[in-house]
């Protein structure tokens, strides 16, 4: 093995830069040449690839976003498009690729691996929806961003005696809403895993209002319901003035939290170690205190473990 490449793909996440840095510096440590692929699978097909040196990744450990850029490129699901990518990789003599992204990115990596290109996947997404790791790179930073927003909303909600309905990202995974909701001391958390009983919610807010509580914070995972409609309904049925806030893309940005930098750095080093050992088609994860790797296919099909006990806790704190 002489030459490896690193790329970021799909939704960006804070800490991706720290992972890029770790791959570059570890690769150089082993005497490898390291290439950066810009703008995900799209850039790969377009040949947006250049050799990186250690100074290309100076100080990026603390920066949000991804210096390599990212892209959504659904065309990559077509074999004939991936063949263009394989040719680019072979023409440059690149022996293996580390891809950083979510499950879509893993599917692309798996497909490349089946076409004979060694790949390693690192979990980079704020959603924490990858079953082969307890935590994804970016999740802790996004959680803090959501908690900061909840704290601010609580200030104004209390001043005006209002209910706040807050939509949080996560695609189809409730972890961001759940963890941030707990840390923000919110009254109600609605996630795909908990399900949602509207009548129960309205009743609880009515009781809370009657008992003289000055505010209520309801956290909702995106793609579950329309938070504007829910806010209107809460206001009509409970008499509690209600506002909806969609946090949106601020959750993706910001300097990565220290834990995301550690996770990204250790996973980046682990990925290069796997390549040096001749492994391919693996997904790196953190399980408990250990870094682990799984077959990417297995990682994609593995059922996600839901942190059940934490839901009980939220119920008690209402
Ligand atoms: P994420 O990686 O954050 O889940 P996406 O779902 O958009 O984000 O996936 C990132 C990219 O991975 C897609 O834009 C596409 O280029 C590639 N990809 C997704 N699914 C597949 C697939 N089934 N086969 C090949 N490439 C895929």
Q: What is the dihedral of CA 45, 48, 49, 50, to 10 degrees?
A: 170
Confidence of residue 213 (pLDDT cuts 50, 70, 90): confident
What pLDDT, on the 0 to 100 scale, is given for residue 308? 52
Cα of 29 from ligand 1 centre, angstroms: 30
Give the ligand 1 atom nearest the CA of 82: 25
Average pLDDT over residues 71-97: 98
Answer yes or no: is the C-beta of 111 below 6 A from any ligand 1 atom: yes
Alpha helices in the chain (DSSP H): 16-29, 40-45, 79-91, 103-114, 139-160, 175-183, 198-210, 227-238, 258-276, 296-301, 308-317
Kindly state the average pLDDT of the residues 28-36. Answer: 98
Cβ of 121 closer than 6 Å to ligand 1, yes or no, is: no
The percentage of the chain sitting over the pLDDT mark of 70, rounded to a whole number, equals: 96
Percent of the chain's residues with pLDDT above 90: 86
- Report the alpha-carbon distance of residue 97 to residue 81 in Å, rounded: 17
What is the pLDDT confidence band of residue 309, given thresholds at 50, 70 and 90?
very low
pLDDT at 315 over 60: no
pLDDT per position as a tens digit, 232-267: 999 999 989 999 999 999 999 999 999 999 999 999
pLDDT at 148 over 70: yes
User: How many angstroms is it from 150 CA to the middle of ligand 1?
Assistant: 31
pLDDT computed for residue 124 by the predictor: 98
pTM for the model: 0.95
For residue 307, is pLDDT > 80? no
> Does 128 contact ligand 1 (Cβ within 6 A)?
no
Atom of ligand 1 nearest to the CA of 75: 16
Residue 314 has pLDDT above 90, yes or no: no
**Residue range 190-197: average pLDDT?**
86
Q: Ligand 1: does its nearest atom lie under 6 Å from the Cβ of 256? A: no
- Inter-axis angle of helices 139-160 and 175-183, to 10 degrees? 50
What value does the mean pLDDT take over residues 117-136?
97
| Ligand 1 centroid from CA 174, angstroms | 21
Cα(253) to ligand 1 centroid in Å equals 20
Q: Residue whose CA is closest, atom 24 of ligand 1?
A: 77
148 part of the active site = no
What residue's CA is closest to ligand 1, atom 10? 10
| Given 12, 95, 103, 127, the catalytic residue | 127
Choice from 76, 139, 252 to test ligand 1 binding pocket (greatest atom count within 8 A of CB): 76
104 CB within 6 A, ligand 1 = yes
Check if 43 has its Cβ closer than 6 Å to any atom of ligand 1. Answer: no
- The contacts found for 226-234 with CB under 8 angstroms, 24 or more apart, are 227/165, 227/166, 227/167, 230/165, 230/198, 231/163, 231/165, 233/198, 233/202, 234/163, 234/165, 234/201, 234/202, 234/205
Atom of ligand 1 nearest to the CA of 71: 14
Q: Which of 108, 128, 136, 297 to mutate to test the pocket of ligand 1 (most atoms within 8 A of CB)?
A: 108
């Amino acid at each position: 093995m002489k030459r490896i490449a690193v790329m970021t793909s799909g939704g960006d996440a804070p800490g991706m830069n720290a992972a890029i840095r770790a791959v570059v510096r570890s690769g150089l440590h082993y005497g490898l040449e390291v290439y950066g692929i810009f703008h995900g699978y799209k850039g790969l097909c377009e040949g947006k690839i250049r050799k990186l040196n250690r100074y290309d990744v100076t100080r990026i450990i603390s920066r949000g976003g991804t210096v390599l850029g990212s892209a959504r490129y659904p065309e990559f699901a077509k074999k004939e498009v991936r063949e263009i990518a394989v040719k680019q990789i072979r023409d440059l003599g690149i022996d293996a690729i580390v891809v950083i992204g979510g499950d879509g990115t893993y599917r692309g990596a798996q497909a490349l691996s089946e076409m004979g290109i060694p790949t390693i996947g690192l979990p980079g997404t704020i959603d924490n929806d990858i079953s082969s790791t307890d935590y994804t790179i970016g999740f802790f930073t996004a959680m803090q961003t959501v908690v900061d927003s909840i704290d601010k909303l609580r200030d104004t909600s209390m001043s005006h005696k209002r209910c706040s309905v807050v939509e949080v990202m996560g695609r189809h995974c409730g972890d961001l809403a759940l963890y941030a909701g707990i840390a923000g001391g919110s009254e109600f958390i609605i996630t795909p895993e908990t399900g949602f009983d509207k009548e129960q919610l309205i009743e609880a807010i009515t009781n809370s209002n009657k008992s003289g509580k000055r505010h209520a914070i309801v956290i909702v995972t995106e793609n579950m319901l329309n938070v504007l409609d829910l806010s209107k309904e809460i206001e009509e049925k409970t008499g509690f003035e209600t506002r909806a806030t969609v946090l949106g893309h601020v959750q993706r940005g910001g300097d990565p939290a220290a834990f995301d930098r550690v996770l990204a750095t250790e996973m980046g080093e682990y990925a290069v170690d796997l390549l040096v050992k001749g492994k391919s088609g693996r997904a790196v994860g953190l399980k408990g205190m250990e870094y682990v790797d799984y077959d990417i296919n297995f990682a994609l099909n593995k059922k996600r473990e839901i942190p059940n006990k934490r839901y009980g806790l939220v119920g008690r704190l209402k």
